[in-house]
Amino acid sequence: DGGITQSPKYLFRKEGQNVTLSCEQNLNHDAMYWYRQDPGQGLRLIYYSQIVNDFQKGDIAEGYSVSREKKESFPLTVTSAQKNPTAFYLCASKRGEGRRLLFNTGELFFGEGSRLTVL
Amino acid sequence: EDQVTQSPEALRLQEGESSSLNCSYTVSGLRGLFWYRQDPGKGPEFLFTLYSAGEEKEKERLKATLTKKESFLHITAPKPEDSATYLCAVHDTGGFKTIFGAGTRLFVKA
């Protein structure tokens, strides 16, 4: 079955450490996204990528970094510069056609999420 | 500024008690309004896409409708398994980013 796999499901980090969250998809989707979810708030966009080797900052990119070396993979690193990293992180993908498509208006497919807690 | 506002924040219903959730949006040129269901500790699951005012879609006990400024998710005769957070989202003006509301937490008691 096609889908999105996030790992680990739970992660604990000490102050000052960088951690990397994995996101892999086998849906053959071009576009991938990272969202952060905090209690009582909507999903906020961290980074997104429309095509391999290209990505853009979302609304809350400070303290995070990403890479998109393969179509299937879009890992997110939470760096020590992120002041309040405790949250639920969601990876998503969407069908797309890279830069040739002006608007990518399909629905998002989400992974099961990764919960990061800073000790 | 593109924005999505959902109300109420939480809704408690008895089994069989029908109701509606509201999603109001502000975006320049709607390119899709989405409803998702999210269970605790899980990723959101897609329910519906609506593209133009007057459009309606149904799935089991759920029916989504769309006007020029808002969308409603009507729940008819809900069951306890309908308990979840329902998220509304729109594409931003540029079309590449999806903007989410804070969600409505629905509790259905047997």
Q: What pLDDT shows up at residue A64?
A: 97
- Cβ contacts (< 8 Å) between B4 and chain A: which residues? 42
B10-14, B22-26, B96-100: least confident range: B96-100
Q: pLDDT digit string (tens) for A33-85? A: 999 999 888 899 999 998 899 999 999 999 999 999 999 999 999 998 898 99
For chains A and B, CB pairs below 8 A equal 62
- Nearest by CB: B44 against A105, A110, A115: A110
CB neighbour list of residue A84: distance below 8 Å, 6 or more residues apart: none
Close Cβ partners of A34 (under 8 Å, ≥ 6 residues apart): A23, A45, A46, A47, A48, A58, A64, A66, A74, A76, A89, A90, A91, A92
Contact flag A58-B32 (C-beta cutoff 8 Å): no
Residue B95 clears pLDDT 80, i.e. is over it: no
pLDDT, position A104: 57
pLDDT of residue B28: 81
More confident residue, A105 or B45: B45
